[in-house]
Amino acid sequence: MQLLWGCGYMPQFWFQWDLIIITCAFFLIIFIFNKNYLFILQILLIISYISQYSGYNYNTFFCKYPKCNKYTIGRICETIPFAVTGFILGYYKILSNLEKYRIKTIFLSIVVYNIITNFKIFTNSKGFGYNGIALNIRSICTIFIFYLSSSDKIENKYLNKVLTKATSYSAGVYYLHITIHKYFNNFFQHMKQGTFIGIIINYFICNMICILGIKIFGNTTLKYLFI
pLDDT (tens digit per residue) in 55-75:
999 988 887 655 556 777 888
Residue 71: which of 123, 27, 10 has the closest Cα? 10
Judge whether residue 3 has pLDDT over 70. Answer: no
Confidence of residue 31 (pLDDT cuts 50, 70, 90): very high
**In this structure, are residues 21 and 187 in contact, taking their beta carbons and an 8 Å threshold?**
no
pLDDT in tens, 201-213: 888 999 999 999 9
**In this structure, are residues 190 and 198 in contact, taking their beta carbons and an 8 Å threshold?**
yes
Mean pLDDT of the chain: 83
**In this structure, are residues 5 and 69 in contact, taking their beta carbons and an 8 Å threshold?**
yes
DSSP state of 151: G
Most confidently modeled of 14-18, 52-56, 175-179, 215-219?
A: 52-56
pTM of the predicted structure, to 2 decimals: 0.74
Q: What is the pLDDT of residue 15?
A: 78
Q: What is the pLDDT of residue 55?
A: 92
The residue ranges of every structural domain in the chain are 2-163, 168-225
Which residues are CB-contacts of 168 (< 8 A; sequence separation ≥ 6)?
210, 227
* Dihedral sign computed on CA atoms, order 19, 21, 27, 29: negative
Percent of the chain exceeding pLDDT 90 equals 39
Q: Which residue has the higher pLDDT, 178 or 38?
A: 38
Distance set, CA 167 to CA 140, 154, 163, 175 (Å):
20, 15, 6, 14
Secondary structure (3-state) at 25: helix
**In this structure, are residues 7 and 65 in contact, taking their beta carbons and an 8 Å threshold?**
no
Distance set, CA 132 to CA 103, 147, 216 (Å):
28, 23, 42
| DSSP assignment of 85-145 | HHHHHHHTTHHHHGGGGHHHHHHHHHHHHHHHHHH--SPP--SSSS-SHHHHHHHHHHHHH
> How confident is the model over 155-160, as a mean pLDDT?
70
CA angle in degrees (0–180, nearest 5) for 143-146-150: 135
> How confident is the model over 151-175, as a mean pLDDT?
76
> How confident is the model over 100-126, as a mean pLDDT?
87
Secondary structure (3-state) at 17: helix
* Dihedral sign computed on CA atoms, order 58, 59, 64, 68: negative
Judge whether residue 6 has pLDDT over 70. Answer: no
> How confident is the model over 109-132, as a mean pLDDT?
86
Q: How far apart are CA 81 and CA 135, in angstroms?
A: 10
Weakest-pLDDT range from 6-10, 100-104, 139-143: 6-10
